[in-house]
Amino acid sequence: MEAIYAIWQRDILKFFRDRTRLVGSFAMPFMFLILFGSGMSGAMSTMLGGEGASGPLSDFNFVEFMFPGIIGMTVFNTAIFSALSVVQDKEFGYMREILVSPMSRVSIAIGKVLGGSTVAVFQGLMMLVFVPFIGISISYMTIIKLFPVMFLVAFAISSIGLLIASSLKTAQGFQMIVQILIFPMLFLSGALFPLSGMPAWMDVLVKINPLTYSVDMFKKIIFDVEQMNPVLVEAMGLNLRIFDHVITFTEEVVVVTIISIVFVVLATIKFSRAEA
């Protein structure tokens, strides 16, 4: 446990000491939420309900719709890029010093995943500072519900990041692979636009995307989907289905938990066998 704590503490301290990273982490979410969200809000509302629409669809607000996706994007980006430090430590020789220490490689791997998860949760919670500017009402209970879900998602993505980092030797290679993964996963997750009406082949990609279930969980917590008008729920793509079965929140938790277990095991095995 001491080894896990030491690795976890190192990653936390590195994050808070890097002010550029701390401030810069707001750049992309802010850009998507304010520029992309505000710019597309009118167009999306018009497409869904027409100009001057009345009824349930007139309540559609694209910026509000994007907000849970922005949280998901922030947690995803922070968690997966947390593994970059593994590759950097290899390049600078620090990883070799860690691996020859009495600490087990399993403890090091778990510490890295927990460190990345903690930082990602902090970043996700920091996105709540945008709440007063977009008109969403979020209670303390909602924040309490978000916290464990954020950690579960961050743990899964950090494990995926560690698996990738353990297979590579350069930071450039890691960044290239991750950049290739980020945008397809982000755009096929429902974070930036509704998932309804997609082609069959694209719908398959949506369903095998771990981020899809993560973003949908955030939406169900923030929007309280069960209390929303069914027409608006359908238009916003908040009723994720597999074979006409609407996936429940509990089922999504199970899916992401399974993904977490599978990838943390794979990442730990790969890290244990990797060369410094």
| pTM, entire model | 0.88
pLDDT of residue 118: 95
Which domain, by its residues, includes 172?
A: 2-273
How many structural domains are present in the chain?
1
Average pLDDT over residues 112-124: 94
Q: 190 and 226 in contact (C-beta within 8 Å)? A: no
- Residues contacting 83, CB < 8 A, separation 6+: 112, 116, 158, 161, 162, 164, 165, 174
Higher-confidence residue of 199 and 229: namely 199
pLDDT of residue 40: 66
Q: How far apart are CA 123 and CA 24, in angstroms?
A: 11
pLDDT of residue 53: 47
Average pLDDT over residues 9-38: 77
- The single residue listed with the structure tokens 């936390």 is 12
- The single residue listed with the structure tokens 């998860």 is 117
183-200: pLDDT as tens digits:
899 888 888 877 777 788
Task: Give the DSSP letter of residue 275.
Answer: -
Greatest CA separation for the chain = 68
